[in-house]
Structure 1
Amino acid sequence: MVLLLAAFGIVLLGAFAQAVSGFGYALVTVPLLAAAIDPRSAVLVSALTGIGLTLVAAVRERAYAQWRVAAALTGTALLGLPVGLLVLAHAPERMLSAVIAVVVLGCVALVWFNARIRTGRLGLGMVGVLVGVLTAATGTNGPPLVAAFHSLGYDPRTFRATLAATFSGTGLMGLAGFAATGQVHLDVVRTALIALPAVPLGWWLGNLLFHRIDPVVFRRIVLVGLLGSAGAALVSLAG
């Protein structure tokens, strides 16, 4: 019961961060859930609880999304998805926990320094493949997209909407891959169902603050928290 309550609180925090900043759901939920349950289940619970959030956000913000860019990224993500599924299915738990922590730290660095990348066809294609790998292996596929959309100069509304549109496509592909490879089991589904009500609650609370909080300040707060959680995970694994 304690673990299930912890999962509810973690999902609530992730949904809140996603609503305010446009990203952060998986970056918050996966490392914290990995510490509370296990890394493989953490990726699956985050994917199962987060897909509704992104679908609803994509529909609501559809007028602001750059759908051609989202479709191109989703299509190329399909190329990287099998690699991520292999990592999730066969990596030992300690190794998977370490991979998640390292990826989170790398993602934090990308977002913290407002990284920019080449956004031509080749650049976006490479981002899409990387997003596909991360979607299945760690669930933390947002920061490469954040770097790409910063480079494209999107305003906050377009930024959040296009992220939601891309997350929707890659999230559905990821869930299909998890199901096809037999990764989804009863304990994961039960945990996801108990944590699921936290998603609309966290989004509602975050959306109330979306226009009232400095997104740069909030992003820094989220990133510092992520640094702490990923660093603590690496220390515990080393110990």
Structure 2
Amino acid sequence: MSLIDLSIVELAMAFAVVFFGAFAQGVVGFGLALLIGPLLSMISPVFLPGPVVLLVSVITASMAWNGRKAVNVDGVKRSIGGYLLGTLVAAAIISSLPQRETAFLLGGLILCAVGISVAGIHLPATRKVLFSAGIVGGFMGTISGVGLPPLALALQSEPGPRLRGTLACVGFISILMAIVALVGVNKIGLRELTISLCLAPAVLLGFAASIKAAPKFDAGYTRPAVFLLSALSAAGLIFRNL
């Protein structure tokens, strides 16, 4: 048995999925975490949760660097404690959760993330709301790699650059928390790191390809398409494990 426990065909399929997710991220501004979690999990359970979280860290690092000058520092301070708490709770739960139940949880969280993103709910960006959003986001991000929709909902009244910069900063810090927590409960090790290194070029290539393609896409159609595909993928993952 190989270290990564994947066939060439499975690895090639995973590479294509990650490329497509990174491409969607570049075109629409999101998509990598929403898409690759359920799709990769349907290829093989070894992708969940470690490799997914590690791959998301690749793109959040670049986004955090690009948006570093437009960060709402107060928003970061008020939410990051919640992210830490949510991360610890998720790590404690997932440490003893079987793969089948983990797949159910991932699918459910992706559906929740899509629902939050399209809900159009307006919340005041108070200290309690930001902390609560952090708890939910930390829990979701540790298990699925999708941890920013709750915070985005609370900060939606912020100007675009400030919103993106703040989300990128919190996203990077929270994904580092998730990685440390998953290492601590033995959900990230040499196998997960090896898989992520094999697929990391797909993230970079997909994101690079999106730079020239983005102006050719109508975001009015692309955004709903990513939401729809994410929801269908998550539902498919749930039904596959029934």
Shift in Å, 1:165: 1.2
Equivalents in 2 of 1:106, 1:3: separation in Å?
Answer: 28
Worse-matched range after superposition: 136-145 or 2-11: 136-145
Equivalent AA in structure 1 for residue 64 of structure 2: A
Which of 83, 93, 97 pairs up with 1:91?
97
TM-score (norm 1): 0.90
Runs of 4+ in 1 over 4 A off after TM superposition: none
- The Cα offsets for residues 174-207 of structure 1, whole Å up to 9 and x where unpaired, read as 1111122222233222211110101111111223
Equivalent AA in structure 2 for residue 17 of structure 1: A
**Percent of paired sites with the same residue:** 25
- Matched with 1:189 is 193
- The Cα offsets for residues 26-74 of structure 1, whole Å up to 9 and x where unpaired, read as 1111111111111x63221121122122112211222233233134322
Which of 223, 227, 230 pairs up with 2:234?
230
- Matched with 1:123 is 129
Q: Is the 8 A contact 1:74 1:128 kept in 2?
A: yes
- Matched with 2:12 is 5
Equivalent AA in structure 1 for residue 9 of structure 2: V
In structure 1, list runs of 5 or more residues that go unmatched: none
Equivalent AA in structure 2 for residue 42 of structure 1: L
Which of 135, 146, 164 pairs up with 1:160?
164
Secondary structure class of the residue paired with 1:13: helix
Q: Is the 8 A contact 2:64 2:168 kept in 1?
A: yes
Q: Is the 8 A contact 2:110 2:144 kept in 1?
A: no
Equivalents in 2 of 1:97, 1:18: separation in Å?
Answer: 23
Which of 112, 135, 139 pairs up with 1:133?
139
Q: Is the 8 A contact 1:24 1:142 kept in 2?
A: no
Shift in Å, 1:117: 2.5
Which of 67, 76, 84 pairs up with 1:78?
84
Q: Is the 8 A contact 1:43 1:138 kept in 2?
A: yes
Equivalent AA in structure 2 for residue 174 of structure 1: A
Secondary structure class of the residue paired with 1:196: helix
- The Cα offsets for residues 55-97 of structure 1, whole Å up to 9 and x where unpaired, read as 1221122223323313432232111111100222111211111
- The Cα offsets for residues 146-190 of structure 1, whole Å up to 9 and x where unpaired, read as 32232x2432x3333322111100011111111222222332222
Q: Is the 8 A contact 1:88 1:136 kept in 2?
A: no
TM-score (norm 2): 0.89
- Would the alpha carbon gap of residues 210 and 149 (structure 1) be closer, same or farther in structure 2, given more than 3 Å must change? farther
- Would the alpha carbon gap of residues 72 and 215 (structure 1) be closer, same or farther in structure 2, given more than 3 Å must change? farther
Q: Is the 8 A contact 2:58 2:200 kept in 1?
A: no
